[in-house]
Amino acid sequence: MADNGRRIVVGIDGSPRSREALRWAVDQARRTGAQVRAVAAWDVSPFVYLAPTATEETYEQAAETVLNEVVESVLDEEDDVPIERVMVQGRPGPAVAKAARGAELLVIGSHGHGEVPGMHLGSTAGYCVHHAPCPVLVIRHDDA
């Protein structure tokens, strides 16, 4: 598939909703001729400096492992949809929203944990809905 400049960005965190987001994006890309950019954000916990048990590389490697595992679990051997894997450092909401610059769509899963399941977006999805530079599709809970 040729690069026509059309991109769908997907936020990946390893959750079931991010897997569903990637599946949806790949299917949409197949229909529209777009490419998929799977983005995993990683950030260093401030607590690592108090009791250093991990390094920045540890956080980055963990996020990269999740990104690769999710992409591999969604891809078909015969899939012709290009998926670019991108690692970004930063809090997930701002990092994924920034990575969506120039995209035609951002697809993200919603955790939305709260007192009434399904009534709230997760913090990353909420941030992206309000700040992304393109339309956002939020993959919600199956039981919502």
Pairing of strands 7-11, 105-109: parallel
**Could you give the CA distance from residue 97 to residue 101 in angstroms, rounded to a whole number?**
7
Give the count of alpha carbons within 13 A of 42, CB side only: 18
Residue-by-residue pLDDT tens, the chain, 144 positions:
556 789 999 999 999 999 999 999 999 999 999 999 999 999 887 766 666 677 778 889 999 999 999 999 988 766 788 899 999 999 999 999 999 999 999 999 987 544 445 555 678 888 999 999 999 999 986 554
Cα diameter, the chain: 49
Q: pTM score, two decimals?
A: 0.86
Predicted local confidence at residue 76, as pLDDT: 74
